[in-house]
Amino acid sequence: MKTRATSLNPNNRFQPIVTDRDCDDGWYQDPADETCPDSLATEVTEEQVRSIISRNRSPDVPFDQSINPYRGCEHACIYCFARPTHAYWDMSPGLDFETRLIAKPNAADQLRRELDKPGYRVSPIALGINTDAYQPIEKQREITRDILGVLAEYRHPVSIITKGALILRDLDLLSELAGQGLCTVSISLTTLDNTLKRQMEPRTAAPATRLRVIRELTAASVPAGIIIGPVIPFINDHEIEAILAAAAEAGAQRASWIMLRLPLELDELFQDWLGRHFPQRAGHVMARIRDLRGGKSYDARWGERMTGTGPYAELVRQRFNRKARSLGLGRKEAESLRSDLFRRPDGEQMHLF
């Protein structure tokens, strides 16, 4: 399906009834028939949220607070670890995740209420972690911009991860925050190959555009870095050094990497994608992934889920570290953001513990 990463829409793990879409019912459907579209329009429903800040206690994640303005993601990255979360909303982690989105229009108002609570304690908020805060529908919805406006008003630290060039629209707010030591941005840069980008991340910004985003953020004094995430054996792993070099040339100040993760329904979706786009190496890719995960497609243990284990994981780590050091790409996490400037609009200065 053009502009979508998958044509599969598998039943989610909570559905008691399974529909077999591959069953031949005797009806012929011509792929060239114009009444059968090669893509699906995005459907957006709204959710009036009663809370907006999610708390995280995972020891291998460098933040403990996050905000996701949207559920589902139109960027359609086939490898997205957040796909299985769509099952909680009685939708498929497959095509539904890309096409049936949930927006949170009251997110900024709810954020303001939560920041105003007397017991609130400041720590950096990671924006757009499960799903991209700058996916295409943000252009009209502006939920992310409204959230940034509240964070700037309260002088609250924020870190952002995105693949979307739309972030440059908010350069005014980002510059204001960064000027006070309150903002960092990480650009997810997984390949420099346009063809692979279209196959793997159909609706994201082109690699050259993401490098331009880094340049413009840096020029505006907004600290910018990259995440090579995920590294996929025999698909994009050969690009590690080239990606780091291109990012450094564009002005990136830091870099990190994450190994491919295939939790729950994502395993089926990724293997289907792999068989369609890289049939000759699909077996090799999955064999290496299982080597990384103790013979399984995925291992959710903290400390290992992000990198895997074994000789290949160590080789990737060494390659990445050697090149990153040579380019001066340190790893400065969100903890370096200031938390002592927080204020409420009524002028109350928050006591920090």
Residue 99 is given by DSSP the state H
pLDDT tens per residue, range 148-185: 999 999 999 999 999 999 999 999 999 999 999 999 99
Query: What is the pLDDT, as a whole number, of residue 321?
Result: 97
Q: Treating both helix axes as pointing N-terminal to C-terminal, what angle do 282-292 and 266-277 enclose, rounded to 10 degrees? A: 150
The H or E element containing residue 70 is: strand 70-71
Q: Is 210 helix (H, G, I), strand (E, B) or coil?
A: helix
Cβ atoms within 10 Å, residue 353: 5
The strand ranges marked E within 178-330 are 183-188, 224-231, 255-259
What percentage of the chain reaches a pLDDT higher than 70? 87
pLDDT tens per residue, range 222-248: 999 999 999 999 999 999 999 999 999
Cβ atoms within 10 Å, residue 142: 17
- For the cut 60, the answer to whether the pLDDT of residue 260 exceeds it is yes
Average pLDDT over residues 104-126: 97
pLDDT band at 31 (very low <50, low <70, confident <90, very high): very low
- For the cut 70, the answer to whether the pLDDT of residue 36 exceeds it is no
What DSSP string runs through 107-139? HHHHHHHHHTSTT----PEEESSSS-TTSTTHH
- For the cut 80, the answer to whether the pLDDT of residue 350 exceeds it is no
Across 248-252, 315-319, 344-348, least confident range? 344-348
Sheet of 183-188, strand order:
54-55, 65-67, 125-127, 158-162, 183-188, 224-231, 255-259
> Tokens standing for 120?
């609130």
pLDDT band at 17 (very low <50, low <70, confident <90, very high): very low
Distance of alpha carbon 72 from alpha carbon 165, whole angstroms: 18
pLDDT tens per residue, range 268-324: 999 999 999 999 999 999 999 999 999 999 998 888 889 999 999 999 999 999 999
Q: What domains appear along the chain, each with residue ranges and CATH number?
A: 55-64+117-336 (3.80.30.30)
Is 72 within 8 Å of 96 (Cβ atoms)?
A: yes
Distance of alpha carbon 37 from alpha carbon 333, whole angstroms: 44
Distance of alpha carbon 233 from alpha carbon 278, whole angstroms: 12
pLDDT tens per residue, range 56-108: 887 777 789 999 999 999 999 999 999 999 998 999 999 999 999 999 999 99
Is 100 within 8 Å of 128 (Cβ atoms)?
A: no
Distance of alpha carbon 188 from alpha carbon 170, whole angstroms: 18
Mean pLDDT of the chain: 89
pTM score above 0.85: yes
Q: Treating both helix axes as pointing N-terminal to C-terminal, what angle do 240-250 and 311-327 enclose, rounded to 10 degrees? A: 20
